[in-house]
Structure 1
Amino acid sequence: MRCPYCGADNTQVKDSRPTEDSAAIRRRRVCGDCGGRFTTFERVQLRELWVLKRSGRRVPFDRDKLMRSVEVALRKRPVDPERVERMVSGIVRQLESRGEQDIPAEEIGLLVMEALKGLDDVAYVRFASVYRDFREAKDFKTFLGELDGDPQGREKAAAGQDG
């Protein structure tokens, strides 16, 4: 493992332990050259996944990118980081267990939205505003109508009408 500070590959593991949900091994490392300390995580990868973008491009699935987008939606929200980690791990397990190597980006977005809906309403709306590409305040109003169970909001959103 290369040191993130100096780039040397002379690093040693000082401590290893499973994460709370036992989905990964957390390793504390120290660089023999510069003395820098850092943490790595080792996870099981069942298969190599690829994301099919809306543009038609095919890119490797990046768990860290998924985590970053969830963290952006959850910024300044009172959600335990362990719950976020479990949520992202659950989404990755769902994707890996599908049996398909290529996964449309839209399906990943829907899984994230569904998971965020159960975790934090504000993060759910934040993520949806980017995922559904809200352009105006009325887009939020229509979406919030759906969230509140307003049948007219749901019908208008499905038809793509203004709220």
Structure 2
Amino acid sequence: MRCPYCGSQDSQVKDSRPVEDGASIRRRRACPDCGGRFTTYERVQLRDLMVRKRSGRVVAFERDKLARSVSVALRKRPIEPERVERLISGVVRRLEQSGEPEISTETIGLTVMDALKQLDDVAYVRFASVYRDFGAAKDFTDVVNELARGAETAENDEDPA
């Protein structure tokens, strides 16, 4: 692994440990040339994902782009980074397991919204506002009401009365 500080072609693994319930490995590395320390992650990739944009263009899936959009939705929310990483890995895993040669941006958006709905209501509304391209305050009200109805349904399902 190349050192991100000095560009040296060699680095030494100082520590390895599984993360995300064993779905990936975190490695702490050190550069013997400059002494810099950095972390790398190794993940299983089932296959290369291709994304079909609304314009019809097909591009390679970018996990980092997904992570950035989820991060924006979760900005200033009290969610641990490990849970965010599990959410992103879960979304990627579901997309890879779909078996489709190309995944539409709509499918990706709906999968992310479903995951965020389970994690944090505020992040869900934030992501939905961008994904669904809200144009009026009524759009926000509709999504919040949808969440409230879902919460009431869940409470009624748990209440044996």
TM-score (norm 2): 0.86
Q: Is the partner of 2:149 in helix, strand or coil?
A: coil
Partner of 2:6: 6
Is contact 1:49-1:102 (8 Å) kept? Answer: yes
CA distance, structure 2, for counterparts of residue 127 and residue 43 of structure 1 = 26
Partner of 1:50: 50
Is contact 2:24-2:44 (8 Å) kept? Answer: yes
Flag structure 2 segments of 5+ consecutive residues without an equivalent.
Answer: 151-161
Partner of 1:36: 36
What whole-Å deviation, never above 9, does each CA across 1:43-66 have from its counterpart, x for those lacking one? 111111111111222111111221
Report whether the alignment pairs 1:21 with 2:30: no
After TM superposition, what 4+ stretches of structure 1 lie above 4 angstroms from structure 2?
Answer: none
Instruction: Work out the number of aligned pairs and report it.
Output: 150
RMSD (Å), alpha carbons: 1.6
Deviation of 1:32 after TM superposition, in Å, equals 2.2
Is contact 1:3-1:31 (8 Å) kept? Answer: yes
CA distance, structure 1, for counterparts of residue 80 and residue 125 of structure 2 = 18
Give the counterpart letter for 1:110 in structure 2.
L
What whole-Å deviation, never above 9, does each CA across 1:68-97 have from its counterpart, x for those lacking one? 211111111111222222221111111111
What whole-Å deviation, never above 9, does each CA across 1:88-140 have from its counterpart, x for those lacking one? 11111111111112100110100000010010000000000110111232321
Partner of 2:154: none
Partner of 1:139: 139
Flag structure 1 segments of 5+ consecutive residues without an equivalent.
Answer: 151-163
Q: Is the partner of 1:94 in helix, strand or coil?
A: helix
